[in-house]
Structure 1
Amino acid sequence: MKKLRVVFILLSLLITVTFISGWAAATPHTSLKSAVAAAKEHNLPILIKLGTKWCKECKEFEEAVVNVPEIGQAVNDNVVLCILDAEEGPGAKVAKHFTTRNYPSFILINSDQEAIARWIGFGCQDCFVKELISALDDPITITERVKRFQNNPTEDDAGRLGRFRHNEGMFAEAVAYYRRAQEINPASDTHYEMNIFGAMSYGNYFQIFSVDQLIVQADIILNAPWRGDKELLKVAFSMFKAAKRAKDMTLVLPYLKVAVEETAKSPDDGVLNKRAKLMPEYTLYISKDIKQALAFKKENQPQGWLEDANQLNNFAWWCFENEINLQEAEKLARKAITLAKPGREKGNILDTLAEIRYALGDASDAYKYVQMALSEDPDHEYFQKQLIRFKEITSAR
């Protein structure tokens, strides 16, 4: 039965657009309760999509389900779709239950609400379809898979359990499963070293893995015979984030240099686009050309960014973090405040302005703007900590 189901899924995805031009998308459920009822009625699993109003990929997925027949049919023929807001209403409880941190998060469950599989992101439509097909290929619960693995360890189960724990935020457990998969099949086509590095990168953010551990894993990838342009860029981006957290940008320099210089002649437009996003940092930290770094940063900004509150804020924060161009950063942050929606969005920009004013030597101004940020979002713990921080600074002067 399992093989017949997989064949059916693959055939449904290969139907031509002409043949399915009359296909209409089913209305997704916005309540887990109604989704469970529908799943029991039709004997189908449930695909929960947890997202937010500000998540770009979340919107892209919802549009694709309606407008891209291959995506819509893959979903509607095989699962009951339930779309929930992870930050508001009942969806927030579901997100907490499944320890969801990144959006969109896709969680496949059965009608008893037991997890089967989960993955993150919708940056690649083909990747989404592959994830869905893979999950439906062997749709047992995670509890059942763990028991099966304990009795009969296989590379496939180890890899699936690693991915699930990875996306669940259980990074140490994910690394252990990835290493086990690697041990079971050292000749596997899956480069588990990349999976391990990805889990360790996220784990570093939560202080589960140290920077030193991450460096060891990054060096393994750089010296691997199979690593290519995409792997180099992934390592560079991840090490850049780790270096920022460690407040030691020298940590990223070897990876940044190799990634930018070795991908310069790539024939892959996707690789070149990602490389372009590293050029501001490469120019700033390797070439040490502030003017050119700013030029690259502005070139990489999305169209219309000068009228977008969040994009203006992102640019201003980048300037603050790198301690450059602070006067223009202040000007753009002030403009962003006038464009921002009341609440957390405006509060975040006010916090950026506070940091810039402090960097420019005005702690009292910084304190004032953090007060304003907290008034926009009184329950925001970070703003509360910022208020205490700047109050102590101003009181000491």
Structure 2
Amino acid sequence: MMLKKYFTLLFLLVISIQAVQAQGIEFFHGSWAEAKAEAKKQNKPIFMDAFTTWCGPCKRMAANVFTKAEVGDYFNKNFVNYKLDMEKGDGPAVAKEFKVEFYPTYLFFTPDGELMHKAMGAKGPEDFIKDGQTAADPNSNLYGQVKRFKNGDRDPKFVESFLSKLGDLDQNMQKDVLDTYWKGKKMTDLLEPANWAIFRDHETDILSERYKYVFDNRKAFYDKFGKNDVDGSLINKAGPQMQTALQTGDEVLYNRVREVLLTSDKKEVKKFTANSEVLFKLVKKDYKNFNKLANAYVTEHIAGSAEDLNQLAWAVYQNTDDKESLSNAENWAKKSVELKKNYANTDTYASVLYKNK
């Protein structure tokens, strides 16, 4: 009798475990080629969870979202589901082919294995199901929107939506779409609200003719869209490009960014511009002007900031053996320690002292 009860309990336990497992997404087990063959056989699109073993958000999705009954109901009905570690087996080749750079990434393929949509990031069950619904809709998925654009759809609202979708997924394609969209348009078309929205939200090339036109004709854009919106757009695009100019020593890019930044009267932009001018002289090994600008920058912007003084002194330590520059760096590092002593500025001060012996 006890044995019968034991087997009954064991049977119920197995059934309950199977029921829990069946609630979530059921993943196909096999190679990528086998998963594509299965999708073709069932005439279903493929959902691929592109993950890595070290990705925390990937683990949370697997534990807290893929296991939900409503998620399983939708994905099991509509997709052949497949998990692939991007660092093992077929993973590296898939990651390279479909430009998987962030995790988790969700790839959706047609039954023939052609990419039709891409999404990223940890999210809740409702938003994740929306990703699946978008992927399954030929009018909304990335594949469908690429086809619409290639077939000549240039409606600004559609293009803006398409560019927004591309923003995090394929920046090279986003640039190509922008260049294609603007072909045949006049510069004055940028003053149309829909086109301004596309420029404001998606243009990144500050050396482009479009950017130059907006910058040179700011007054007309102020009158139409407001000074804050226009200046904010121009400066937000220029700021990140300064890092590229500093890394490469590109004078054309540097001068363009500087020209834009100098139009701002905001305190934080003025500080950023002054700092960039100082660092660019250091990069170009123009030590005479570097020291002149650096001392003015310290006096005007960072005399009371231990962190900023330390960063400037460290930049000198890392980039030059010039004696005047090192002597100035020694003073900045010393002042940083006096303001707020910590491991970082103590290390900088000691390093500069040693190098400046």
Q: TM-score, normalised by structure 2?
A: 0.48
Which structure has the higher relative contact order (CA within 8 Å, separation 6+)?
2
Instruction: Look at both structures and tell me which one has the larger radius of gyration over its CA atoms.
Output: 2
